[in-house]
Structure formats: structure tokens, C-alpha cells
Amino acid sequence: MRSYSPSSGISLLLLLLLLQVVSGCSQSVMRSGRYVLLAAGENAKSLAALYGVPKASIESANRQAKWSEGEWIFVPEYTGILSYVYGNASLYGWSTLGAEDFRGGLFLWPVPSSYRLTSAYGEDRSSHNHAGIDVAAPMGDDIVAVADGVVSFSGSDPGGYGEVLMINHGDGTITVYGHLLKKRVSQGDRVNRGDAIALVGNSGRSTGPHLHFEVRQEGKSVDPFQYLKGQ
């Protein structure tokens, strides 16, 4: 897939204006986002998961789209507290893993007291694919930084992630920690691998105490197990 920013060049600006004329727009309005060339098998749901934008927002921005391979699709910028606000985290069908499964991973396991995985990355949900993993643990248990970095965001999202932290690891990789009870670090703090940064909670849209954990590369969600799972 090739993607472009609307501000990146004159040719794309002309494309934007042309598409607005074709769609019957009476005014020329520059929207914040990017155009992507649709690949085989891609749709609004897969783009929502890839770019962290609500599926409904993508569909609304492309009402005339036929969703065929080779078609240009506009992915609007999402300006929420984080890149996406997820639905309820499922606490059913859980599986238990052991510490030995994660020895040798690039990142530490974020909840030392629990390996109870309740939702996997990419899990199919009604409006999106799950962009992280959920780890159930007792309320108030420690959450640790999975690698060295700087706290790039510390905030609250009552309708989604609840109390949330983001850590920038300096190589285009950001980790996200959601539904926290309490944060032990602040924006701008430097943290080391293994430092206690927060407590497991049930804040935001959540069905029970757990950590929602994401890994993002250049803003796009990736499977955390690529970094956590030991070889």
C-alpha cells in the first residue's frame, strides 16, 4: 500500500480538488488525513485497524467509493486522545501463559504478576480489529515499562482508554498502557526497562481490571507478540 499526506505535493492537492468536484462538492475544503491506494482484500475495517481511525469515519469520508483494488481512499486524521477509542474489552475465553513464554523477548512482559491474556491482537470486533492485547490482573498490581524510553503522553479518556500512558522508545516505536488505576510517572519522565510506571485498573470503557497494551510503529499498530514473545 502507498500512502501520501495531502500537504506533501501539488499533484495530490490537485487530486483532492478533482475528487471534490467529482463528488459534487460546492466548496473546496482541505481535509486533514491521507490518501491510500487500496490493495486487494482491503476495506474500511482493515484500514481502520491499520491507521487507528474509526471505521465509520473512513466510510463517511468515502461515500462514493466502490472499494475496489487500485481505488484511492481518503483516511481522515483522528484527533481523539489516542488514535482510536476501542469497545469493551472481553474477559471471556481467556488463556493463561507462563513467564517462560516471554524470556528472550525484545520487551519485558508489562504485568509481572499475571500472564492471563483475555483479548488478543487482531481479534475481530463489531467495528474494528483489536489493536493490542488485554492482560487481566488484580486491581492495583504493578505495570512496568517494557523498555527504556520517555513518557510522551499522560492523560485521561473516560469514554475509552481511561487513564492512559504512552512511552516513546526513540526508534519510531511507542507503547500504550490503558485502563490504569494510577500513574506513577508523568509526561516527560525518562523510564528504564522494568520500572514500575502504573497500577492495573478498570478506568474508561472496561469490563474488569486489566491492562490494555499496544505497540505502535510510526503510528500504526503492530502485534505486541512480535516484541514480547521469546524465541
Q: Are 102 and 142 in contact (CB under 8 A)?
A: no
Cα 121 from chain centroid? 10
**CATH pick for 3-76 out of 3.10.350.10, 3.40.50.620, 3.40.50.1220, 3.40.50.1000:** 3.10.350.10
d(CA 25, CA 27): 6
Is the predicted pLDDT of residue 138 greater than 60, yes or no?
Answer: yes
Q: In degrees rounded to 5, what are phi and psi of residue 200?
A: -60, 135
**Which residues of the chain are in CATH 2.70.70.10 domains?**
95-228
pLDDT in tens, 14-68: 555 444 433 433 333 445 678 889 999 899 888 877 776 778 788 888 988 899 9
pLDDT in tens, 75-84: 887 655 444 3
CA angle, residues 92, 194, 202, in degrees to nearest 5: 35
- Cα torsion 106, 110, 113, 119: sign: negative
Got the DSSP string for 114-161? --EEEE-TT-B-SSSB--SEEEE--TT-EEE-SSSEEEEEEEEETTTT
pLDDT in tens, 85-136: 333 323 223 344 455 555 556 899 999 998 888 877 765 555 455 667 888 8
**Which residues of the chain are in CATH 3.10.350.10 domains?**
3-76
CATH number of the domain at 95-228, please? 2.70.70.10
